[in-house]
């Protein structure tokens, strides 16, 4: 298991944010990950439109995860309507 930082961007509305947050948590749980910390970073404006959106709500997660499962999670996030953008970064020990 490795520690990863996951930053996800959702549409601005509270409904979309909570739906997306539940989706991400469920997918991480399904992959056998443990969430160490979770922080709502708020709404920020983009430098360029992402899926026709000009602003989005950011969620930062720190999670322990099997490296082989990252690809499966990326695929699930790409197919999701609620996740605008995401980034996995391996955290140094």
Boundaries of every domain in the chain? 2-90
| Tokens read off for 64 | 């322990």
pLDDT at 61: 96
Q: Where are the alpha helices (DSSP H) in 1-93?
A: 14-30, 70-79
The single-letter DSSP state of residue 68 is: G
pLDDT at 92: 85
Question: Helices 14-30 & 70-79, crossing angle to 10 degrees?
Answer: 150
Mean pLDDT of the chain: 94
Q: Mean pLDDT, to the nearest integer, of 39-57?
A: 95
pLDDT at 53: 94
User: In terms of Cα–Cα distance, which of 56, 91, 39, 51 is closest to 70?
Assistant: 91
Q: Given 3.40.190.10, 3.20.20.140, 3.30.70.60, 1.10.357.10, which CATH number is that of 2-90?
A: 3.30.70.60
Confidence of residue 27 (pLDDT cuts 50, 70, 90): very high
Is pLDDT at 93 greater than 80 in this prediction? Answer: no
pLDDT at 2: 94
């Amino acid at each position: 298991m490795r520690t990863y930082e996951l930053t996800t961007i959702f549409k601005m509305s509270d409904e979309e944010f909570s739906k997306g947050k539940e989706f991400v948590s469920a997918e991480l749980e399904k992959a056998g990950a443990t969430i160490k910390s979770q922080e709502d970073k708020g709404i920020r404006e983009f430098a360029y439109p992402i899926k026709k959106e000009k602003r989005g709500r950011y969620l930062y997660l720190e999670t322990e995860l099997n490296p082989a499962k990252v690809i499966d999670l990326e695929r699930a996030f790409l197919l999701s309507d609620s996740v605008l953008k995401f980034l996995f970064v391996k955290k140094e020990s």
